[in-house]
């Protein structure tokens, strides 16, 4: 059989993607990019996804939203997200574990609530939603993609964000675990580690002139990243073009880790 042309491999026509945290920021950017590449999208989160819906429908793709608080979701709630998506679209091909939060407090005083909330959404939810989606992929028999959003703090310690660092280091770890156990089902589990991106997540540090200046000075690309910067990598990892990439975390950081 003739192999597909290289650009053909990047197309996502007929695919269905779940994207958590698709209201704004990196998640919204990736959801729109997946739709542009051909996928229908199911956005999962707490906020208003109207803007994301309008942009995806304008591309001629379908958008379905599921209301779910991923800090407090039970395993049963996460299983329901899979059932709901399958009942609307018939199948799932791509999962983007994007929703995440950060809490800043001196480590010496760091509270239990700041630990639990961050670990719940950034790590526990990713683990059990991926598990539920992987079961669906195995049932469908055609494999699928899991893309989780890691961070520079999957590699570094960070300052005043211990639960974020623990969760994002964990994301890099379970990305490899999933690959080890599920690659045989044609499931690709990979992660994207964004550098310093201009979104709501980094608004407080961008507002602190000294800290923002120190960060910018250290980025070889001399600028903060944008949601558009992660869109191409997300489409690549969601596509057939990346079928032999397993368990890897790709940094999209303007060179931060090279420093």
157-176 residues near ligand NAP, rule: CB under 6 A: none
Residue 154 C-beta: closest distance to ligand NAP, Å: 9
Stretch touching ligand NAP by CB under 6 A, among 3-11, 194-202, 215-223, 244-252: 194-202
Binds ligand NAP (CB under 6 A): choice among 136, 199, 239, 249: 199
Total number of residues that touch ligand NAP (CB under 6 A): 26
**Contacts with ligand NAP, 25-64, as mask; x by CB under 6 A:** xxx-----------------xxx-----------------
How do 144-149 and 94-97 pair as beta strands? Answer: parallel
Residue 201 C-beta: closest distance to ligand NAP, Å: 3
- Can you tell me which residue has the tokens 């739709």? 35
Which is catalytic among the residues 164, 185, 196, 244? 164
**The token pair that represents 73 in the structure block:** 């979701």
Residue 24 C-beta: closest distance to ligand NAP, Å: 5
Can you name the residues that pair with 148 across neighbouring β-strands? 97, 191
Given a contact cutoff of 8 angstroms between Cβ atoms, the answer to whether 213 and 202 are in contact is: no
Binds ligand NAP (CB under 6 A): choice among 158, 194, 247, 254: 194
Contacts of residue 193, Cβ cutoff 8 Å, sequence gap at least 6: 149, 150, 151, 152, 154, 155, 168, 172, 249, 250, 251, 252, 253
If one asks whether residue 221 binds ligand NAP (CB under 6 A), the answer comes out as no
**The token pair that represents 153 in the structure block:** 């703090």
| 164 noted as active-site residue | yes
If one asks whether residue 69 binds ligand NAP (CB under 6 A), the answer comes out as yes
Spell out the alpha helix ranges (H) of the chain. 25-36, 50-58, 75-89, 112-119, 125-140, 162-182, 203-207, 209-218, 227-238
Q: Which residue's CB is nearer to ligand NAP, number 162 or number 194?
A: 194
If one asks whether residue 8 binds ligand NAP (CB under 6 A), the answer comes out as no
Residue 179 C-alpha from the chain's centroid: 16
Q: Which residue's CB is nearer to ligand NAP, number 9 or number 119?
A: 119
If one asks whether residue 189 binds ligand NAP (CB under 6 A), the answer comes out as no
Nearest Cα neighbor of 45 from 14, 86, 92, 77 is: 77
How do 40-45 and 187-194 pair as beta strands? Answer: unpaired
If one asks whether residue 119 binds ligand NAP (CB under 6 A), the answer comes out as no
Task: Catalogue the active-site residues.
Answer: 164
What does the binding site for ligand NAP look like in residue numbers (CB under 6 A)?
A: 21, 23-27, 45-47, 69-71, 98-101, 121, 149, 151, 194, 196-197, 199-202
């Amino acid at each position: 059989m003739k192999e597909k042309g290289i650009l053909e491999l990047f197309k996502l026509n007929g695919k269905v993607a779940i994207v958590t945290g698709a209201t704004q920021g990196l998640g919204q950017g990736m959801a729109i990019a997946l739709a542009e590449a051909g996928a229908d999208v199911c956005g999962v989160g707490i906020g208003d996804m109207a803007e994301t819906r309008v942009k995806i429908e304008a591309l001629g793709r379908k958008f379905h939203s599921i209301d779910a608080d991923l800090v407090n979701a039970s395993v049963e709630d996460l299983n329901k997200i899979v059932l709901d998506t399958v009942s609307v679209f018939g199948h799932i091909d791509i999962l983007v574990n994007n929703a995440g939060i950060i809490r800043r407090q001196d480590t010496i005083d760091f509270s239990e609530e700041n630990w639990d909330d961050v670990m719940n959404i950034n790590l526990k939810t990713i683990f059990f939603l991926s598990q539920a989606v992987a079961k669906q992929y195995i049932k469908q028999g055609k494999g699928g993609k899991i893309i989780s959003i890691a961070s520079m703090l999957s590699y570094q310690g960070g300052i005043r964000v211990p639960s974020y660092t623990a969760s994002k280091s964990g994301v890099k770890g379970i990305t490899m675990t999933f690959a080890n156990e599920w690659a045989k089902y044609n499931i690709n589990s990979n992660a994207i580690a964004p550098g310093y991106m201009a979104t709501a997540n980094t608004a407080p540090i961008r507002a602190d002139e000294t800290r923002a200046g120190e960060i910018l000075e250290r980025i070889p690309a001399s600028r903060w990243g944008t949601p558009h910067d992660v869109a191409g990598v997300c489409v690549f990892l969601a596509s057939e073009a990346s079928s032999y990439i397993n368990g890897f975390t790709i940094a999209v950081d303007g060179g931060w880790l090279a420093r």
